[in-house]
Amino acid sequence: MREYGDLRNAIIHNRTSMEFAIAEPHEDVVLKMEEIETALRTPITVGSMFRTNVTMFQQTDSLSYALKVIKDKKYNQFPVYDGTQFKGLITPVGITMWMASVVESKEFSRSRTTLGEILAHENDRENHQFVAKQESVYEALEIFKEAVTRGRRLEALLITEDGKPNNKLIGIVTPMSLMKIK
């Protein structure tokens, strides 16, 4: 953007005469500038880019079941509900914290442990935020950045129609998924 701004200034302000500019943009430069303008005027929304059928879990689901889904679908974060009410987001950190707390216990069981039990180890962390589908991907990136500056690491942005937690989840944005955007 800075280089395009410098080019514009050279064309407008550094003329040797009214008929002669010291620089002229190539057609591909003009096309790129128009592409940037379009992106700024109508940015891509998180709803359009990250809408998907989200796999949701119930807090009564077993850890064993969730691990099978993680293995099959390669998930790192998964939302947990009690019926239709959102309860929290489980991450590998939460699973690890749960494992560390029960490793010495005779009750250590993947099949008997529920996601609700693991969620107790996530609830100490604010690891997610809800956003509305019309938020731009640039706004999503800023939310992640601002969280880091406040000393908090967000694992995911959870997308609903209006950004409210108890509405249907329609997508998930992670820091890694934003990094893949060109």
In the chain, where the domains are located: 2-41, 46-179
Q: Give the CATH superfamily of 46-179.
A: CBS-domain (3.10.580.10)
pLDDT for residue 76 = 83
pLDDT for residue 36 = 73
pLDDT for residue 173 = 95
pTM beyond cutoff 0.85: no
Say if strands 20-21 and 15-17 run parallel, antiparallel, or are unpaired: antiparallel
Mean pLDDT per segment of 10 residues, for the chain of length 182 residues?
63 60 70 76 89 93 90 88 92 87 76 88 82 95 94 93 93 90 66
User: 92 CB contacts (<8 Å, ≥6 apart)?
Assistant: 76
- Using DSSP's 3-state secondary structure scheme, residue 111 falls into coil
